[in-house]
Chains A and B, each alone.
Chain A
Amino acid sequence: MRTAVAQLLRRPMTLFGAIIVALFLLAAVFGPMIAPYPYDMLIRGAARLPPSADYLFGTDQIGRDVFSRVLWGARDIITLPLLTTALSVLFGTSIGLFIGYYGGWIDEIVSRILDALLAIPALALALVMLRAVGPSPFGIVAVIVVLYTPIVARVVRAAALSLRGSGYIEAAKLRGEAVRYILFREILPGVLPALVVEAALRFSYAIFLTASLGFLGFGVQPPSPDWGRMVNEARTAFSQVPWALWFPAGAIILLIVGVNLLSDGLRRVFRYEGQLL
């Protein structure tokens, strides 16, 4: 693992991506502390001001500081996808290891259900389910976890399946190890490279989906600053406050490019391509 990290950091583009992601993580943690204004504060007489020393990213059409809103917004766009990724990886790995190890009819049934769920476009289902449970941070995480768990499960299942027949697993069985030990101590380490790449991809697509839901108005609800929603709101007033669109949109672009550079490095170091969805 340590050599993998060293290999990663030796690639300049990966290092660049890691720095970008680290900066956004810092913004998510400390952003609210260094933001000059609260995200929902209407600054008197300061509507529609272009970027300046006082308002680094300018102010929006009703006089809120765009820089502060982007900083505050970093928290949701990073923590929600992180949480989503962690939970999908946890559930997906457990399901995938289990059905990959046991095989047989359990695998047959669960795999078919997973395949069927995978054939549903994420955004379409997310919209309908979020409308039902209400657009709360909890709802967003729950819905995306439901959509991403099958993807992780399928990747882990395939990897576990290929390890099942190998000698050291047979040896562990003959030693009389508990199933849990075999799954998590013997099989999981072999699955890890694929899992790390998959987790990075899930994180990237979870940001994608969270931002898109925000843009369509199904994300974190106002007055909380959501980058996707900020872009959508600024769109209608673009000719007056173009900066209110450019900065949150630029933040989304920069964050996703950073995550992609990092996950491309992981793909190359672990030699695993991952999948689109």
Chain B
Amino acid sequence: MLRFLTRRLALLALTLFLTSILVFASTQILPGDVARLILGREAQDQALQDLREELGLNQPLPVQYTAWLTGFVSGDWGRAFTGGRPPIRPLVMERLGRSMQLALVTLILTVPLSVTLGVIAGLRENTWIDSVINILTLAVVGLPEFVTGLVLINVFALGLGWFPTGAALSSDAPLGEALRQMILPATAAGFVMMAYIVRMTRAGVIDEMKKTYVRTAILKGLSRRQVIVRHVLRNALLPTVTVIALSIGWLIGGLIVIENVFNYPGLGRLMTAAVEDKDIPLMQATVMVVVFFFALANLAADVVYALLNPRIRLE
């Protein structure tokens, strides 16, 4: 297990390293002069020169990259170029916290419901209820979050008036109000994930029900109910845990769009704004943090999978 974990952690490091190169390389071919971007059109040549010196823009690229990487690893993330040049780390951490709140609400809303639906569909394979669940999940899997988000806004916010259209509340809003604002974005973010968990849970339950021990248990005289609750679910739901960890990665990608649809002040919105404003250090920091959490979710999925499958662990 230790060897497996070391391998996976090395892969995580490789992922972050590749990302840092891709992101750094991408930001280097961005059009436009960074110093002029910060100081504006009317800046004096001397001021521009000084700023370039300060930011190390005159140095060769490998030197710039190493300086950026060592700074980033040691926690010195520098200052943003735009929006009054705030220090990046506190800003990113605050937005990250907001995104995590939204992710948590999404998970609480979707995971129990989708596992239940998946189990029902699996146990009633090829009945009408299975078909209905199957068609519903097919309809929403792969729908872009901005479409589902806008449909939800139009029906439940503008139409019925149950929820607010945006979620741009301050961080000290009372919990009830904060939750009310997060329901719609969380639902939109959870749709694709939900469809995926339902489908995988269903497949797991169907596989498990076909195994011989189920027949043995029934022939032994246990009721169907007992067999399902005591034996089948326990085995069938284990792989679902892996699926949930994987979908958290998917959720992180989905939040980038959702936060823009609902004006939610999270990390994804900070990232898109940084990309739009060509705010290079902010762009680098936000992408690295998003990739870190995405890769971490994948790692968690692998570790859970390995814990459940000793064969992989020992490889």
Contact = CB atoms under 8 A, between A and B. Distances in A.
B22 interface: yes
Interface stretch (A55-63, A87-95, A158-166, A248-256): A248-256
Contacts of A113: 14, 18
Interface in B132-186: 135, 138-139, 141-147, 150-151, 154, 158
Contacts of B252: 121
A204 interface: yes
Interface in B250-274: 250, 252-253, 256-257, 260, 271-272
A123 B256 contact: yes
Contacts of B257: 123, 212, 215-216
B111 interface: no
A34 B226 CA distance: 62
B275 A128 contact: yes
Contact of A208 (B17, B27, B144, B203): B144
Given A119-B11, A260-B141, A276 B247 contact: yes
Interface in A1-51: 13
B23 interface: yes
Contacts, number: 139
B14 A112 contact: yes
A218 B260 CA distance: 13
Interface residues of B, number: 52
Interface stretch (A98-106, A129-137, A184-192): A129-137
Contact of A120 (B11, B15, B138, B196): B15
A277 interface: yes
B35 interface: no
A242 B22 CA distance: 40
A172 interface: no
A273 B204 CA distance: 12
A124 B22 CA distance: 12
A115 interface: yes
A205 interface: yes
Contacts of B295: 119-120
Contacts of A256: 142-144
B253 A123 contact: yes
Q: Chain B: interface secondary structure? A: helix
A127 interface: yes
Given A133-B29, A216-B272, A276-B196, A119 B12 contact: yes
Interface string B270-292: 01100110100001000100110
A134 B32 CA distance: 13
A228 B184 CA distance: 20
A215 B19 CA distance: 24
A118 B302 CA distance: 13
A129 B257 CA distance: 17
Contact of A131 (B18, B146, B150, B275): B275
B255 to A, nearest CB: 10
A44 B31 CA distance: 38
Nearest to B196: A276
Contact of B144 (A212, A235, A273): A212
A259 B257 CA distance: 22
A75 B225 CA distance: 53
Given A128-B283, A133-B29, A121 B139 contact: no
A179 interface: no
A69 B253 CA distance: 29
B65 to A, nearest CB: 15
A270 interface: no
Contacts of A71: none
13 contacts: A13-B135, A112-B14, A120-B15, A120-B295, A124-B253, A124-B294, A128-B23, A128-B287, A208-B144, A245-B150, A249-B147, A260-B139, A276-B246
Interface of B: 11-12, 14-15, 17-19, 22-23, 25-27, 29-31, 135, 138-139, 141-147, 150-151, 154, 158, 196, 203, 246-247, 249-250, 252-253, 256-257, 260, 271-272, 275-276, 278, 283, 287, 290-291, 294-295, 298
10 nearest CB pairs, A to B: A132-B26, A119-B295, A116-B15, A121-B253, A119-B15, A121-B294, A116-B14, A215-B146, A132-B29, A128-B26
